[in-house]
Amino acid sequence: MSDDVINPQDVDLSRRKFLIAATTATGAVGAVFAAVPFVASWKPSERARAMGAPTEIDLSKLEPGQMVVSSWRRQPIYVVHRTPEMVAALTKNDSQLKDPQSKDSDQPEYAKNEARSVKPEFLVIYAACTHLGCLPKQHFNPGDPVVGADWPGGFFCPCHGSKFDLAGRVFSGSPASTNLRVPPHSFQQQLLVIGVDESAAAVAARVEPASLSSNDPRGVA
């Protein structure tokens, strides 16, 4: 992950694109980021990701309040390191949401909770509006004048006006009918792995040590 933290300006997503990695010639993803720092990093090549290889992100440099943009299977992914205040505010949005419990939305079972995540502080979502697939802008600051004085913070799609909270849950009155989708993902300490389910990662972690026995030289100190 690059050590540089960029404070991006508000840009129309439908008109401008930027390259999100110098080593990935085909990895252009449109994005708009305002008011919060932005970091972008990933390891696998674009071709490997397109074929479904997991994408790994080092979270050690992603500060609370920051967002990183990556991609998996040619789809942009947003990863947000939520602050404790962001997490606490999620409970206040339920009455304003179409699907507060994510019963009709797409996410792995382990992310079917209020934070829609394995770890409450990290949000991992597909960066595509569930209305027509546009890329929502991040407007994390409550009361953002672009969205409205009563805005609690989250994502706003400028194309048709859909609004999502900081768990990717859609607000009532939005054209989008369901919450932003959550991809399969898991955590290995400070490493986020997109494309590997948390359940599969947990099984692998349990099986690997058990496979080493006293008869195996690798298991003898």
Per-residue pLDDT tens for 50-96? Answer: 567 899 999 999 999 999 999 999 999 999 999 999 999 999 999 99
Per-residue pLDDT tens for 42-51? Answer: 455 566 555 6
Per-residue pLDDT tens for 160-192? Answer: 999 999 999 999 999 999 999 999 999 998 999
Q: What is the pLDDT of residue 53?
A: 87
Distance from C-alpha of 44 to C-alpha of 162, rounded to nearest angstrom:
32
Per-residue pLDDT tens for 87-130? Answer: 999 999 999 999 999 999 999 999 999 999 999 999 999 999 99
The residue behind tokens 């920051």 is 66
What are the structural domain ranges in the chain? 18-219
pLDDT over 90 percentage in the chain: 64
CA end-to-end span of the chain: 35
Q: Domain 18-219 belongs to what topology?
A: Rieske Iron-sulfur Protein (2.102.10)
